[in-house]
Chains A and B, each alone.
Chain A
Amino acid sequence: MVELTQSAPAHWLRRALIGAVAILLCEYLLLSWLVDADLLQRRLAWLSGFGYVAPLAIAIGTAIFIFASTGKANVLVLAERDRPTARRASPYLAVHAVLFLAFLLLTRALFGGQPLLLGTAEAGFMSWALLGLAVIAALTLAILPPRQLFPLVRQARLSLLLGSLVGIAAWIAGRAAEDLWEPLGRLTLSAVAQSLRWLFSDSFSVPNRMLVGTSTFRVIVAPVCSGFEGIGLMIVLLGCWLIACRRQLRFPNALLLVPLGIVMAWVGNVIRIVALIAIGSRWSPAVALGGFHSKAGWVLFCGAALGLMLVSRRAAFFARETPPVETAGDSWNPTAAYLVPFLSGVGVQLVAGLFSIRADFAYPIQLLAVLSALWAYRKSYGRWRFSLSWAVPVIGAGAFVCHFALEGLLGPGTASGSTTSLGLGVRPAGAASALIQLARTVIVVPLAEELAFRGYLLRRLVSADFTDVSPAKFGLASLLISSLAFGALQSNWIAGAVAGMLYAYALYRRGRIEDAFLAHAVTSLLAVAYSWWFAPLRHA
């Protein structure tokens, strides 16, 4: 019988789970490389009637995961004596490998442009789905053999039950909330139309077609434009904030933040649509539908959400204890020191993108913002010692080669609008522009990114008190998560994640964040050189 104990945590299951996730990720990448995803979607079009299954499964899965992996019912906390040996795991791993190979071949046969092997699409799909489940089952048994798995499921039954109930409830709430889209859309339309009447003489609205605008530019206030997504996101975000800061906030006053946030999210969306129509009508439809459309929603939402959080910590009405005013150097916020330079760069890039400002015009502003943040926190970083090591430039150059080789193999992906120190730059117009781009892309942005991802996140995932963690002491989980987070902000997430791992390796060798920064700077320097001399002219 497996015993769950809080006092003897064993981390082998955590490591095994990470290994299993890594295996599944590699297999997924192999599948996505070998199989045409568009063809797969077309072949599975008949499944669209079951579109509710995936959200329901994800909601239940998430709820069960949280219930079963936190607190006293944590299934990761197992007695050490139940650790499976490599010998016990290997037969299941071999079965998993064979089943995956069969799954790969069947996937190719069904969705790779070959004729169907198994009669109707439904029969083929059923065989394919069952084989897929068998692949996952074999991997599960490799982590936990049946004699451990079933007792564990029995012990975690309460978490499974509660997780399922919460997941189903969240799914029902999400479905029910969709009914509010239409009335909310009508309210948004009427508010936008009223605001436009004050601003423009040629404004009009057609409520039955949800159309609003001026004689030269008009938009449809579709359900996705109604502000519903912003309200939902605000409720969740402020809900998390109230839970996370429950000891610092004054209740019930702090509960007012939620209705305040809902109103701000909705008003922000109305302002966004009015501004978009104003820009499209009187300035440039291209700017309205380009940078402004894609970024205004996020900029206003981030401003409202972060503003409310800041006020809740500072205002005595919301905060149980107001933080002391910053005094000359007797206290510091290490998290801010490591994250604010990166966040200021991202923030400037988002705001500059609102008006479709060309990247080379935005660089000086971004450079100034990040430099200011670095200067403000300069005393927090300690003394950096740069000493030459042959391995650092090699790692940096290796990251460059991997990054661009993977981009070539997998495609450039979709740029998510980050600080993108690894992406191609734009060819500078003159010497001053070249210097600014070099300083920004090769020095300042890599510094901000290394402080955030290797200096903070990599160590924060090891311990909450991250400043006490040696830079070279991190686990596989923290390496994977921080590298994936770094990759998510690059133009191609896989290539970015691989580069992130290489910078973590540079850090690991001598335990110096300076080495990760230098390796990153070398990669960025090569990327800039490549974009200036070899790549076609690009304007971001």
Chain B
Amino acid sequence: MRLTIRDAILAARKAPLLSALSVTTIGFSLYAFALFGLVAINIRRALEGVEERVEIRAFVVDNARVESVVTAANEIGGYSEVASATVVTSEQALERARRELGEFSDVFEAGVLPASIDIRLKPGFRDPRNVAAVASRVRTIEFVDDVRYGEEWIAQLYRLRNLAGVTGVILGLAFAFVAVIIIGATIRMTVLARAREISIMKLVGATDGFIRMPFLLDGFVKGVLGGVLALGMSWTSAQVLDRYLNFHAVFFDQRMIVIGLIAGALMGVLGSGYAVGRHLRQL
């Protein structure tokens, strides 16, 4: 291990420009990946915001007793899928309608709206299947007159969400693949710069594993440094968007930053392994 570390340091010292170029290239390829990640998490966050508005409204019959409605609301609130179930009286419903319609609020001047139980679902249960299942259960309650939850709207939202998810995974994998290839090509330059040393190592009986180790360490360090560089550039980009375009982008949280750095290191190791493995096979 001591020799591996010494070899990796020696190689970096021997070709500082090449090392700097490798870190920069890795940094930029990870930056492209990070920018994509930022776009993906911001889209996801926006969709989550819309999802939070998924709501089931169970209208109750006019002559329903308030105590019964409250009891039913408490019972619904106990469903595993349900985050909250709130009783809305007809007066509150009218007030809410006026507030939401703003300048057209006078259309409700003399109107009457039915009381309801407004049900919000927990995250992870806002998909069409779960929403329909909860709606069906609520519909069976004796004094519930009608249940509405914007069936088509939720179905479309989830189609969009799934599309965004699948596109995100495919593009993410493609970006990661391209990053690994670029990192591999960059580290291949380092391998070629040390081709003579590698051939001598082989001649005197070094094993492939021994030859590979310093390159894997080199890839690991460059991957982490490239990851830090990419992180810095992404953070700067998010700040620029925020300051000059007033776009309040969500940035990576601590967990994502750690995952990103690990991914950078992993890409460095994979890229290095690919480059040196290819070279060794040709010897």
A and B associate in one complex: no
